[in-house]
């Protein structure tokens, strides 16, 4: 795990352009801000290129994707690709509707997506594995998260994060499993959206997308556990605020001592 990236984020404040869903944008922006990144959200196709020029990364969240936003999403992805800025894709509820599936698959076909992050159901769908999905965040599959992540990573030749009680990060022959977790993270609508954007912030300053994804997962997991340790397991409302407080005080030492993960890399 490359905790140097954390120090670099605190120093450089990477600018993350977000195509955000309209449900959780403030939570995502506050989370990025608390961590030390610089968020910006846009709805204007005309400014795609100018926003991506100083930006370090692009995060495309499909939570409330719709036809009239698509030209802007494509313009952002095109600008990011031209400028070689990494793109993170959060395919929210991708298996639930043909429209979402078509949007995600078009983005995956036409642009070099660096990281895909979703729950097991969403990633299984993209990987072509049968799965069940209900609502925004749920998603179960008979296949193991590691297998789902690896197949999706292979299919789209990128880094893939499967979020859940255990998080898995896969890319080529690299595989990491992160055990930091708290039931309070899924209690907050938008915690997955925030994770995708945190991965985007790291990806914007990392050499390897896999490092960005792994550190992103550990960052939210460690901060989440630290925030949860001050609360009852049912205080999801209060937790959202305390999580932001905790992201602001996170440091390399806490990341190193409290991260619980396994990592297997092969050349």
Whole-angstrom CA distances from 256 to 105, 218, 240, 246, 253 are 37, 10, 23, 15, 5
Q: Which of 74, 89, 100, 196 binds a second copy (CB under 8 A)?
A: 100
Q: Does 2 bind a second copy (CB under 8 A)?
A: no
Tell me the per-residue interface mask from 155 to 194 with a second copy, x by CB under 8 A, - otherwise.
--------------------------------xxxx----
**Looking at 241, 252, 263, 265, which residue binds a second copy (CB under 8 A)?**
241
**CB-based contacts of 224, cutoff 8 Å, min separation 6:** 180, 181, 182, 184, 185, 191, 243, 246
Q: Smallest distance from the beta carbon of 146 to a second copy, in angstroms?
A: 26
Which residue in the set 234, 251, 252, 260 belongs to the binding site for a second copy (CB under 8 A)? Answer: 234
Is 253 a binder of a second copy (CB under 8 A)? no
110 vs 232, which CB is nearer to a second copy? Answer: 232
Q: Considering only CA atoms, which of 117, 63, 64 is closest in space to residue 86?
A: 117
| Binding track over 106-145 against a second copy, x by CB under 8 A | ----------------------------xxx-x-------
Tell whether residue 12 is a contact of a second copy (CB under 8 A): no
**What's the closest the beta carbon of residue 22 comes to a second copy, in angstroms?**
5
Which pair of tokens denotes residue 7? 């120090």
**Cβ 151 to a second copy shortest distance, Å:** 25
Interacting residue with a second copy among 104, 158, 243, 255 (CB under 8 A): 243
- Rounded to whole angstroms, the Cα distance separating 22 from 152 reads 27
> How many Cα atoms occupy the beta-carbon half-sphere of 91 within 13 Å?
35
- How buried is 68 (Cβ within 10 angstroms: 0-12 exposed, 13-18 middle, 19+ buried)? exposed
Q: Are 267 and 172 in contact (CB under 8 A)?
A: no
Task: Identify which of residues 134 and 265 has a Cβ nearer to a second copy in the complex.
Answer: 134
Q: Which position among 65, 108, 115, 214 is part of the footprint of a second copy (CB under 8 A)?
A: 65
Nearest distance, CB of residue 217 and a second copy, angstroms: 20
CA separation (Å) from 227 to 1, 20, 198, 224? Answer: 22, 25, 17, 5
CA dist 162 to 22, 30, 89, Å? 23, 23, 12
Q: Among 47, 140, 154, 208, which residue sits at the site for a second copy (rule: CB under 8 A)?
A: 47
In the chain, DSSP assigns E strands to 15-19, 38-41, 57-61, 87-90, 115-119, 159-163, 167-171, 174-178, 261-264
Residue 63 found at the interface with a second copy (CB under 8 A): yes
Binding site for a second copy (CB under 8 A): 13, 15, 20-27, 29-30, 33-34, 38-47, 50-51, 54, 63-69, 72, 93, 96-100, 134-136, 138, 187-190, 232, 234-238, 240-245, 248-249
């Amino acid at each position: 795990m490359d905790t140097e990236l954390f120090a670099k984020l605190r120093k450089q404040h990477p600018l993350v352009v977000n195509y955000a869903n309209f449900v959780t944008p403030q939570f995502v922006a506050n989370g990025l801000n608390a961590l030390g990144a610089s968020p910006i959200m846009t709805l204007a196709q005309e400014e795609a290129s100018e926003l991506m020029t100083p930006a370090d990364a692009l995060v495309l969240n499909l939570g409330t994707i719709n036809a009239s936003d698509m030209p802007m999403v494509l313009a952002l992805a095109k600008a990011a690709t031209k400028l070689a800025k990494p793109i993170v894709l959060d395919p929210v509820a991708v298996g639930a509707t043909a429209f979402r599936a078509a949007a995600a698959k078009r983005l995956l076909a036409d642009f070099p997506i660096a990281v895909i992050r979703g729950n097991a159901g969403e990633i299984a769908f993209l990987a072509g594995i049968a799965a069940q999905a209900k609502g925004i965040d749920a998603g179960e599959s008979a296949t193991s998260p590691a297998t789902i992540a690896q197949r999706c990573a292979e299919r789209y030749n990128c880094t893939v994060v499967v979020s859940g009680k255990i998080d898995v990060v896969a890319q080529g022959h690299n595989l990491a499993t992160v055990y930091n977790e708290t039931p309070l993270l899924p209690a907050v609508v938008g915690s997955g959206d925030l994770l995708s954007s945190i991965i985007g912030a790291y990806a914007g300053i990392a050499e390897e997308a896999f490092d960005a994804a792994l550190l992103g997962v550990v960052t939210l997991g460690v901060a989440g556990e630290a925030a949860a340790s001050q609360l009852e397991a049912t205080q999801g409302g209060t937790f959202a605020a305390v999580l932001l407080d905790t992201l602001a005080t996170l440091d390399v030492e806490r990341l190193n001592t409290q991260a619980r993960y396994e990592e297997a890399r092969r050349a």
